[in-house]
Amino acid sequence: MNEHVIISETPFVDVEFQRSELEAKGVDVEVRDTHTEAAVAEAAADADALVVDVHTPVTANALEGAGSLQLIARAGTGFDNVDVGAAADHDVHVTNAPDYCTDEVATHALSLLLACRRRIPAADRDVRRGEWSWETERPVRRVTGSTLGLVSFGRIARRLVDHVDGFDLDLLVYDPYVDEEVVEEYGGQLVDFPELLAASDAVSIHAPLTEETRGLVDADAFEQMAEHAVLVNVGRGGIVDEDALAVALENREIAAAGLDVLEEEPPGETPLRGLENVVITPHSGWQSLEAHDDLNRTIARQLEQALAGEKPDHAIDPEPWT
C-alpha cells in the first residue's frame, strides 16, 4: 500500500511540484480542506504525513485518532497552530521551513519602517486626491542616526540588522533567550523591554506568538514609547493589543504603525483600517517567487526524510512544548 500525504488546501504549496517529487517514490498525494479540527482529525487518521498552513488547527484532540501519521509539515516558519507536544506523544515529527523567507520578511520590515517614517502612503493618498503639498506630511524625522529596537533576535531580526547597515542606527534588543555576546556581535545592546520602548525611535517585532508574548505590546507599552516612534510588526498579530494600538495612533501617543500581521486574518471590523497613520499589508512579507520555490523544496525534503524513517532536517524539538 502506498504511503499517503494529505496537503491542506493552501496557496502556499505547489501541489504539482510535490506530486512530481513524491509520486515517483510511490507516495500518493491528496489535497484536502483541513481548516477545521474535525477535518484535521480525519486527515490525521488517514495520512502518513500532513502538510498544513497557518490556518490548520492541529490540536491534541485532532491527533487523538492518528494512525500511521509520521509527520506534520508546517508550510511556513511559525507553528503556533500545531500542538507540538501532542504530536510528540503520538511519535509524530513536526517540521517547519525556518529560513525560506528570512530575507523577504526582513526587507518587508524595513519597507514598512521607511514607509511609516517617510509617510509615503499618506503622501501618495494626498497626491491621488489632487493635492500637492509636502507640508501636509510634516514632521518627518531623519532615519539615519536614530535608534531601532528589535523585539526578539532570531534569523529575521539579524537579517534586518544587515539591511539597515549604512543608516548608522543604534540597535537595542529585547530577547530573554539570546546571549548578550550574540547581540553585541551585531553591534547591538541587550536591554529589558521597558528600556527598549522608552529609548527607541522605531520598534520592530519579530517574536513568535507564545503565552509570554501574547498582548506584550499593550496600552502600557504605548505610554512608554515616544510620540514620534514607529511600531512595525512582522511577527504575529496577537503580540500587539490592536485596540490599544488604535487608541495610541488616534491620540498620537505614537506616530505610526506598519503591520504585516493582525490578530484576525483577514480582519473583521477594526478601527485600524480607518486610520491614516497605519500601513497594513496582508501577511505578505514572506512573498517572493524565490521564497515560494524554497518553501516547496524544503517541504518536499522533510516529507521524503520522514517517510524514509529518517529524522527530518527541520524537526522541531518537542521538549519545550511538552
Q: Is the pLDDT of residue 322 over 90?
A: no
**How many domains does the chain divide into?**
2
Same domain, 46 and 194: no
pLDDT number for residue 1: 54
DSSP string, 157-217: HHHHHHHTTTS--EEEEE-TTS-HHHHHHTTEEE--HHHHHHH-SEEEE-----TTTTT-B
Same domain, 83 and 146: no
Same domain, 21 and 169: no
Same domain, 221 and 133: yes
Mean pLDDT of all residues belonging to the chain: 95
pLDDT number for residue 285: 97
Same domain, 210 and 162: yes
Residue entry with cell 537579517: 159
Same domain, 132 and 235: yes
Same domain, 136 and 12: no
Same domain, 96 and 178: no
pLDDT number for residue 138: 76
CATH code of the domain covering residue 155: 3.40.50.720
Same domain, 7 and 82: yes
Annotated active-site positions, please?
A: 236, 265, 283
pTM of the model: 0.91
Same domain, 168 and 239: yes
- The residue segments making up the domain with residue 224 are 102-280
The pLDDT tens digits for 149-186 are: 999 999 999 999 999 999 999 999 999 999 999 999 99
Same domain, 68 and 108: no
Same domain, 122 and 137: yes
